[in-house]
Structure 1
Amino acid sequence: MEYLCKFGRIGNRKTTVISGVHYNTNAERQKYIDDGYIPISDEDYQHYIGNRGQGDNGTGYIRDAKTGKPVSAPPAPPVKAEPEPIEPEADDVRLAAFEAMAAQEERMAAQAKRIAELETMVKALKGGEGK
């Protein structure tokens, strides 16, 4: 089994094709070679796919342009901490309006409950439904 890999500008593995899977003849193989694919060993392939660890920096392996061998990829760039969101100031007028609306809804619910109780009492006094 032979692996042909295409690498990015910094040496990261972009695409891999495998003999017997993606190509079977020398002519098919040559098309990949002409398209920039490079033959690599099974051991090198195992490094690139992470089966040999994640390298010295925990970011995997890339292809060294000089030696053609896997080397530890550079460390990941530091992640900038996002500033904590600023709590918007409460608009006193709007806050008062929402509180008033909530209080009004509570009063309306209480009134609806009281009306239902009164209607039940009136029905009972009249002797039930339909009288």
Structure 2
Amino acid sequence: MENKYLAKFDINGCREITLVKGVHYNTDDEHQAYIDGGYIPITDEDYQHYIGNRGTGDNGTGYVRDPKTGKPVSAPPAPPVEVTEEPTANVPETELAVMEGMVDMQSRIAVLEAELAKLKGGK
């Protein structure tokens, strides 16, 4: 039993589950049972790629297992998000009027405060 990590990957090479020696298994028989169940031994360095400790890959989407080499490779880019319509603010007229009134009131208060400061001898 050499590797302390065993991982299971989906058909796209994405890591689904990782098992750690001393936590999930201890004996050679337990190790072999996981191997028989489809788990693959991976190195500590490979594990660090899969969990994101070596960056997010060339496309910013992490790493997947290359089925030919068995090594981590940059995951494909995320698919583009299709926007079917332009998002718009849907604020009711009454709320919009209240907000505009508040902004107008704040500017009037600022003018009054400036006038008051002048009357008190300020600038």
TM-score normalised by structure 1 residue count: 0.63
Give the alignment of 1:34-45 within 5 angstroms. Answer: 34-45=36-47
The DSSP-based 3-state class of the residue aligned with 1:54 is coil
Alignment deviations for residues 72-97 of structure 1 (CA, whole Å, 9 cap, x no partner): 0000000011313689xxxxxxxxxx
CA distance, structure 2, for counterparts of residue 70 and residue 47 of structure 1: 7
- Alignment-mate amino acid for residue 74 of structure 1: P
Equivalent in the alignment of 1:10: 12
Larger Rg: 1
CA distance, structure 1, for counterparts of residue 87 and residue 74 of structure 2: 37
TM-score normalised by structure 2 residue count: 0.67
Gaps of 5+ in 2: 90-123
Alignment deviations for residues 91-117 of structure 1 (CA, whole Å, 9 cap, x no partner): xxxxxxxxxxxxxxxxxxxxxxxxxxx
Cα drift, residue 55 of structure 1 = 0.1
CA distance, structure 1, for counterparts of residue 13 and residue 86 of structure 2: 37
CA distance, structure 2, for counterparts of residue 53 and residue 86 of structure 1: 36
Equivalent in the alignment of 1:76: 78
The DSSP-based 3-state class of the residue aligned with 1:39 is strand
Q: Considering only aligned residues, what root-mean-square deviation do their CA atoms show, in Å?
A: 1.8
Following TM superposition, the consecutive aligned residue runs of length 4 or more in structure 1 with deviations greater than 2 angstroms are: 84-87
Q: Percent identity among equivalent residues?
A: 69
Match of 2:29 among 15, 27, 30: 27
Alignment deviations for residues 4-46 of structure 1 (CA, whole Å, 9 cap, x no partner): 0000101000000000000000111111101100000000000
CA distance, structure 2, for counterparts of residue 86 and residue 64 of structure 1: 43
